[in-house]
A and B are shown apart, each in its own frame.
Chain A
Amino acid sequence: MIDLEPLNNLYSGIIAENKIRALFPILHQEVNGKPLVYFDNAATTQKPIQVIEALKNYYEVDNSNIHRGAHTLASRATDYFEQTRNLVKEFINAPSSEEVIFTKGTTESINLVASTFGRKFIKQGDEIIISTLEHHSNIVPWQMLCEEKGAILKIIPIHDNGELDLEAYKNLLSDKTKLVAVVHASNALGTINPVKEMIEQAHEFGAKFLLDGAQSTAHLDVNVQDLNCDFLAFSAHKVYGPTGVGILYGKRELLESMPPYQGGGEMIKEVTFAKTTYNDIPYKFEAGTPNIGDVIAFGEAIRFINQLGKPAIREHENQLLEHASERCAKIKGFIPIGTAREKVSVLSFSINNIHPFDVGLMLDASGIAVRTGHHCTQPLMERFKIEGTVRASFAVYNTTEEVDRLVESLTKISKRKN
């Protein structure tokens, strides 16, 4: 593994923007004749040079299939791969690295739980609770499972500001509840849910809790032992890592009691035509050759975050969000969607009389990348009786100047119809 110069002095109370931006090659380009402003971080973050170099280095120096190899390259690749598992373990404070399973993304992590835990433990008449804030990937797998098992899906409603109705949640919980699957931070609105308290309440009824951490792991301290969640799902690519790598954390006793997800190589102990015995966790859930290079590169993303520290990242992003919210509120026709008291750095909004797609297109023409549409949360959009929103989401490398450019462009856009 190449040893890149450590990121010393990047954090001294405030994020040193220029030093951080220098680590992200993609940010230094023009789009439509203007310097790129990348505000689509909730969809995927950009990757620091360490991650890109690690991926390149893996294919140039270490590429080999992992586990069971007799040769040096295989053993090196295996070591680096397992190092990332250990880094993830520390990143989320899992009790052991065996409880960390590599998947291809949050979606697959959730589907894995639905197909294994769900297949074994959910019975007819059981109830699964999700919320109005969920991404389709934390709705559809449970709908499919409920349909198959004759189980019932219950939905936690939200208040107009985008916060969960926690009283309603308490009322939904019962002895029939077998699983609660809720997002930590909403991708569409940014709302941070009080999940620690929600997990405790679910446990009082003996229900298990799956936490969708896709939008929280890059911003908040996600400590699975402190939160006491039973499962945590998240994606590397939203945490400055490569695409194609997801994490599923699960408590040991649960993972051990669950049937395998897919059959194949790696997940077995012994195969005969009469019977196959399965490997121990985590390998039981990792059939086939995994995404080795990207997993190894993800290790560099975690090191990058660790060097900055989540509190510094959060403070910087909060400043950007506050600045953006304050300035945008003064734009004529600006309508914020989702005004929860606790939010990750997501600013979701619409401009009066202008379709979100048109806003996105006009912003793109001035070099600003945002996401528009329903953000894979159609039931949430239905709750607000809107087709979609414009979403600007901020990461550690974004700057106040970039937010000012967004405000300037939105002011011009709004003038067309307001």
Chain B
Amino acid sequence: MAGINSIQEEIISEFEILGDDKESTIYYIMELGDQLPEFPEEEKKEDNIIKGCQSKVWLTTTLDGGKVCFQADSNTDITKGLISLLIRVLSGKTTSEIINANLYFIEKIGMGNIIGSQRSNGLSAMIKQMKLFAIAYQAKINA
């Protein structure tokens, strides 16, 4: 499986094709969200909600052979699209890869401009939560 940085590069070049057109960029992000695997209804519970997002975001994880897999859903299409990008970059990676990941693609694709500063805070909350899961799994592995 490709490394975190090579996936980030892929995403950056995909967004370069879209150029500055905000409309096509937003529709594209939403379509990426549409492609996320279905999230089980019973997992849409309070415990799985990420705090600090304006939209509702549910996130669950599994640890498989030392690698962390993320599943997520949101009540808004734009947020679902954003988290699908994070899942594409971070899911299936080792705990230390996730903990040490520098997610530069977000700035490179101009996400702040696209979603505004309030949504950007939500995006940071999502990243923080994903890294916290990795830290918790690592502690468990090392125990």
Contacts and interface: CB of A to CB of B under 8 A. Distances in A.
A37 to B, nearest CB: 14
Interface stretch (A76-84, A112-120, A136-144, A357-365): A357-365
Given A362-B27, A416-B30, A357 B22 contact: no
B77 interface: yes
Nearest to A353: B77
A366 B30 contact: no
A358 B23 contact: no
A227 B54 CA distance: 42
Interface string B23-58: 101110010000000000000000000000011000
Contact of A32 (B22, B77, B78): B22
A33 interface: yes
B76 A355 contact: yes
A366 B22 CA distance: 8
B64 interface: no
Contacts of A7: none
A357 B26 CA distance: 12
B55 A357 contact: yes
Given A365-B26, A416-B30, A357 B21 contact: no
B30 A358 contact: yes
Contacts of B30: 358, 416
A76 B1 CA distance: 76
A355 B75 contact: yes
A32 B76 contact: no
B77 A355 contact: yes
A154 to B, nearest CB: 33
Name B's interface SS: helix
B77 A365 contact: no
A386 interface: no
Interface in A359-388: 361-362, 365-366, 387
Contact of A33 (B22, B26, B76): B22
Q: How large is the interface on B (under 10, 10 to 19, 20 to 34, 35 or more residues)?
A: 10 to 19
Residue in A358, A365, A387 with the greatest tally of chain B CB atoms within 10 Å: A358
Interface residues of A toward B: which range? 10 to 19
Instruction: Find the residue from B20, B22, B55, B78 having the highest chain A CB count within 10 A.
Output: B22
Given A354-B77, A358-B76, A416-B30, A33 B55 contact: no
Interface string B114-135: 0100000000000000000000
Contacts of B27: 362, 416
Contact of B22 (A358, A365, A416): A365
**Which among B23, B25, B54, B75 has the highest number of chain A CB atoms within 10 Å?**
B23
A355 to B, nearest CB: 4
A36 to B, nearest CB: 14
B55 A361 contact: no
A405 to B, nearest CB: 13
B22 to A, nearest CB: 4
> Among the interface residues B20, B27, B75, B77, which one has the most CB atoms of the partner chain A within 10 A?
B77
A366 B76 CA distance: 19
Contact of B26 (A354, A361, A387): A361
Contacts of A361: 26, 78, 115
A387 B54 CA distance: 12
Contact of B55 (A354, A355, A365): A355
A33 B78 contact: no
Interface string B82-97: 0000000000000000
Contacts of A33: 20-22
A362 B28 CA distance: 11
B78 A358 contact: yes
A59 to B, nearest CB: 30
A20 B35 CA distance: 47
A365 B113 CA distance: 11
A362 B27 CA distance: 8
Contacts of A32: 22-23
Nearest to B74: A355
Given A355-B77, A357-B55, A362 B21 contact: no
Query: Residue among B54, B75, B76 with the most chain A CB within 10 A?
Result: B76
Nearest to A364: B22
A210 B76 CA distance: 38
Contacts of A358: 30, 76-78
A357 B76 CA distance: 7
Contacts of B78: 357-358, 361
22 contacts: A32-B22, A33-B20, A354-B77, A355-B55, A355-B75, A355-B77, A357-B54, A357-B55, A357-B76, A358-B30, A358-B77, A361-B26, A361-B78, A362-B23, A362-B26, A365-B22, A365-B23, A365-B25, A365-B26, A387-B75, A416-B27, A416-B30
Interface of A: 32-33, 354-355, 357-358, 361-362, 365-366, 387, 416
The 10 lowest CB-CB distance pairs between A and B, nearest first, are: A365-B23, A355-B76, A32-B22, A365-B22, A358-B77, A365-B26, A357-B76, A358-B76, A366-B23, A358-B78
